[in-house]
Amino acid sequence: MNKIEDTFAREEKMEKLREKLNNSFGENMRYSNIEEYAGILNISRKLDDAIVDYIKSFNE
């Protein structure tokens, strides 16, 4: 696999993991309050930002 194909494969894998993470949080937080749910979504967004930064540094 060349570098571009590898990057696309990583991006696809991370997107699938992100989707799984968000679905899991939704199921587990169904009975929690809004503040807890908002906090978990915020953590998920921070994780997304970290992943994007990693991909950008990988491509430099």
pLDDT tens across 26-38, in order? Answer: 766 666 677 777 7
DSSP character string of the chain? --HHHHHHHHHHHHHHHHHHHHHHHHHHTTTS-HHHHHHHHHHHHHHHHHHHHHHHHHH-
Q: pTM of whole model > 0.85?
A: no
Q: Please state the domain extents for the chain.
A: 3-59
pLDDT tens across 31-60, in order? Answer: 667 777 777 777 788 878 778 877 776 766
